[in-house]
């Protein structure tokens, strides 16, 4: 059994990442979908200032256990 972990900023972002992965991955069977987990950003003191681009943190994650059906 293999496990794939997806991380995103919200449930909608996770759903899109999972869908994209499913389209490109090929033949497989999902054995178990683990509950969505909330992640706490590691760096809470991100730099703040003019010209600093803030990237949304991956606040949620989900794991899928699957088997290749090849």
| Residue 3 forms part of a structural domain | yes
Burial environment of residue 8 by CB neighbours within 10 A (0 to 12, 13 to 18, 19 or more): buried
Q: Does the structure show a pLDDT above 70 at 52?
A: no
Give the model confidence (pLDDT) of 28-51 as tens digits: 899 999 999 988 665 555 566 666
Cβ-contact 35, 64 below 8 angstroms: no
pLDDT, position 3: 94
| Residue 64 forms part of a structural domain | no
Give the model confidence (pLDDT) of 60-69 as tens digits: 999 999 998 7
Of all residues in the chain, what percent carry a pLDDT higher than 70?
74
Strands 37-38 and 28-33: unpaired
Prediction pTM value = 0.74
| Residue 18 forms part of a structural domain | yes
| Residue 47 forms part of a structural domain | no
Domain count across the chain: 1
Range(s) of the domain holding residue 2: 1-32
Beta carbons within 10 angstroms of residue 62's beta carbon:
19
| Residue 26 forms part of a structural domain | yes
């Amino acid at each position: 059994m293999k496990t794939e972990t997806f991380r995103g900023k919200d449930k909608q972002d996770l759903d899109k990442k999972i869908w994209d992965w499913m389209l490109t991955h090929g033949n497989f069977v999902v054995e178990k979908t683990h509950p969505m987990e909330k992640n706490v950003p590691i760096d809470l003191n991100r730099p703040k200032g003019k010209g600093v681009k803030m990237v949304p943190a991956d606040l949620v994650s989900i794991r899928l256990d699957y088997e290749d059906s090849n």
